[in-house]
Amino acid sequence: MTLLLLVAAVPQVRADLAPGALWISANNLQARNDIEILADTGVLHGPMDAWPLPWSAVSAALYRLNPNTLTPLQRGAWQRLMAEMPKSPACFDTSAAASVAVQRGQPQLRWYAPAPRGKNDIQGAIASQCENFFYALDVSHDNQPFDNGANQNRLDGSYAGFQAGNWLLLAGEENRWWGSGWGGTMLLDTNARPVPALELMRASPVAFQTPWLSWIGPWSLTTFMGELNDGRYVPKTRLWGLRVAAQPTPHFQIALYRTALWGGVGQANSLSQFWRVLTGGNALDNPSDPGSVAGSQLAGVDLRWHWLEGAQTWAFYVNGGFRDETHHIPKKFFPLFGLETAWAGDAGASQRLFVEYSDTTAGWPFTNGIPINDTYENEQYKSGYRYYGQTMGYPTDNDSRMLTAGWIRVNGDNQSLSLLLRAGVLNWDGSNVPPPGGNPLAPERIPMASADLQWGLPLGPGMLTADVGAAAEHPQGQSRQYPLQAWLSYQLSVSP
């Protein structure tokens, strides 16, 4: 049995240890569920496909709502978000948090729900925000981290920055989740640890006022530049990301993504080289030159349609990546398709069901004659699209096909229960790229199925969370395996 003991002094935060009031962090399962309910029922406007999500993107709309005009499904979501949202629009007192964790086993495949990253962890954090300036300092030590070669001392979750108009500029190490999927996303999710980066984002997705551009609807933009300092084949490789999203109609949102590995020790690191990365071109005319290729680039798209049938919400979404391009036209598609629905339960509760199918073979649906072991690999950056041995994209890594189904229930009193089921094949073709690249999760073909059950219970001034997971795997040429994992947490929330 895994044991995770968590003690925290956190102002109005349910699912994150970090006590910052700036945004809703990735892996806050309950807050994301409630945000999507209000967005899909027309209460909130703007693209809600990427996390962390600044509170400023939703706070004004939440304050304007009259709960007497809301449906039971909307009212429960609104009440939970209002209880979590920071109350002061100007300054927040410095807050503190602390935790200690001990566990055995580890999650087989991470998804949107929170999960620990190590076996023995001690952590402390402080955060503050006043007017246009904000910071969070999150320091942790883990003598047995899950990530290969990861530092025992970490600053994951730390950041500092300021707001200028409708823009946030910050530096830090914050988890990102880009896409509508719950089981994972194709370009950026929380499977790997957060990358230290300098980031610029819109604080609120307000629409253009000019009639020439107002048809785009509410829109958001995020871009960052980070450095992968994890002992790679190319040391100090840079990671650049760009996301632009919009909601041109009340029922449809679209987001376009790009990421690139570029620069690093022994590579071109100039502004002109980054311009070539930005424009998708080659850096030099000689392809055999180590600095000629403008990095390992991925493109992505996220499309989401949502509608109402009575008081029940429905949404269909596509989150996909592109491994290559020809004449600036993306190709080698690898997709995730999802369908979800949410409805009101009794006493202010909400329930959500989702089903997703993912295929991380670049070139879907044409699997004959296309390169395998290609999606998250690169000849120039041989460590691949990974950080500390974990893919920064979908958690199954290369050439894996997975069916995922999930159920989330959140009660009016903030008690929650979630169940995630997966079945599929990791590394379906059974081959792999030699080190330092290659699928670290499945070097060989592994048919597998897994289940993960998580329960959150308000207890006293805090939240008690229990999680148990089990899997059945059959690695190629080996006997069947049945890995288990479980953990228990308690998070204490105290307003300053």
Q: Is 265 exposed, middle or buried (0-12, 13-18, 19+ CB in 10 A)?
A: exposed
Q: How far is CA 230 from CA 153, 174, 196, 351, in A?
A: 13, 16, 11, 40
For residue 476, what are its two tokens?
Answer: 């190629």
Average pLDDT estimate for 250-259: 96
Is the pLDDT at 355 greater than 90? The verdict is: yes
- In angstroms, the CA 33 to CA 42 distance is 15
CA-nearest of 74, 37, 35, 76 to 58 is 35
* pLDDT at 135 (0 to 100): 87
In a domain, 415, yes or no: yes
In a domain, 18, yes or no: no
Is the pLDDT at 89 greater than 80? The verdict is: no
Please indicate whether residue 495 or residue 163 has the higher confidence score (pLDDT). Answer: 163
pLDDT band at 345 (very low <50, low <70, confident <90, very high): confident
pLDDT band at 98 (very low <50, low <70, confident <90, very high): low
CA-nearest of 400, 469, 453 to 107 is 469
In a domain, 163, yes or no: yes
In a domain, 288, yes or no: no
Our count of domains for the chain comes to: 1
Task: Please write down the HEC assignment for all residues of the chain.
Answer: CCECCCCCCECCCCCCCCCCCCEECCCCHHHHHHHHHHHHCCCCCCCCCEECEEHHHCHHHHHHCCHHHCCHHHHHHHHHHHHHCCCCCCEEEEEEEEEEEECECCCCCCCCCCCCCECEEEEEEEEEEECCEEEEEEEEEECCECCCCCCCEECCCCEEEEEECCEEEEEECCCCEECCCCCCCCCECCCCCCCCEEEEEECCCCCCCCCCCHHHCCEEEEEEEEEECCCCCCCCEEEEEEEEEEEEECCEEEEEEEEEEECCCCCCCCHHHHHHHHHCCCCCCCCCCCCCCCCEEEEEEEEEEEEEECCEEEEEEEEEEEEEEECCEEEEEEEEEEEEEEEECCCCCEEEEEEEEEECCCCCCCCCCCCCCCCCCCCCCCCCCEECCEECCCCCCCCCEEEEEEEEEECCCCCEEEEEEEEEEECCCCCCCCCCCCCCCCCCCEEEEEEEEEEEEEECCEEEEEEEEEEEECCCCCCCECCEEEEEEEEEECCC
In a domain, 437, yes or no: yes
Global pTM value: 0.90
Average pLDDT estimate for 307-323: 95
- In angstroms, the CA 302 to CA 256 distance is 7
pLDDT tens digits along 112-171: 988 888 777 777 777 787 878 888 888 887 777 777 666 778 888 899 999 999 999 999
Q: How far is CA 41 from CA 254, 269, 313, 319, in A?
A: 18, 47, 7, 22
Average pLDDT estimate for 415-430: 95
* pLDDT at 9 (0 to 100): 29
Torsion 360-332-381-281 (CA) sign: negative
In a domain, 9, yes or no: no
Q: Which domain holds residue 430?
A: 23-280+294-492
Residue 13 · residue 19 · CB < 8 Å: yes
In a domain, 400, yes or no: yes
In a domain, 16, yes or no: no
Q: Is 68 exposed, middle or buried (0-12, 13-18, 19+ CB in 10 A)?
A: exposed
* pLDDT at 303 (0 to 100): 98
29-40 vs 72-84: helix axis angle to the nearest 10? 130
Average confidence score pLDDT of the chain? 85
CATH code, 312: 2.40.160.130
Average pLDDT estimate for 480-495: 80
